[in-house]
Amino acid sequence: MNAIKELREYLQKDRSGPPAKILAKLAVALANESDFALAELYSLPLDEFELAIRLMRDWRLDRYYAARIRLFDVVLHDVLPDEFRS
């Protein structure tokens, strides 16, 4: 399974845990091409850390993949809805 799809499914199952928030912020940083504190990755459990690495690899290889849009919808509407509304 590709990491973008895997992360979307992960976030749909767990929207409120600290690893979910960190992974969601990573996805936003990748989408916006903005800064992300790498130190946050080191606080992730190993499976989530490896998911983050796979996500960055997949994102770099295929920046315009349609699954990215679906992931971003989950992040903005379900995981971090209050942090990105004006």
pLDDT for 15-29, tens place per residue?
A: 889 999 999 999 999
**pLDDT the model gives residue 77:** 82
Q: What is the pLDDT of residues 41-54, one digit of tens each?
A: 999 999 999 999 99
Backbone phi and psi for residue 70, each to the nearest 5 degrees, phi listed first: -65, -40
**pLDDT the model gives residue 67:** 67
Question: How far apart (Å, rounded) are the C-alpha atoms in residues 57 and 13?
Answer: 23
Q: Using alpha carbons, select from 4, 37, 2 the residue that is nearest to residue 22.
A: 37
Question: How far apart (Å, rounded) are the C-alpha atoms in residues 25 and 18?
Answer: 11
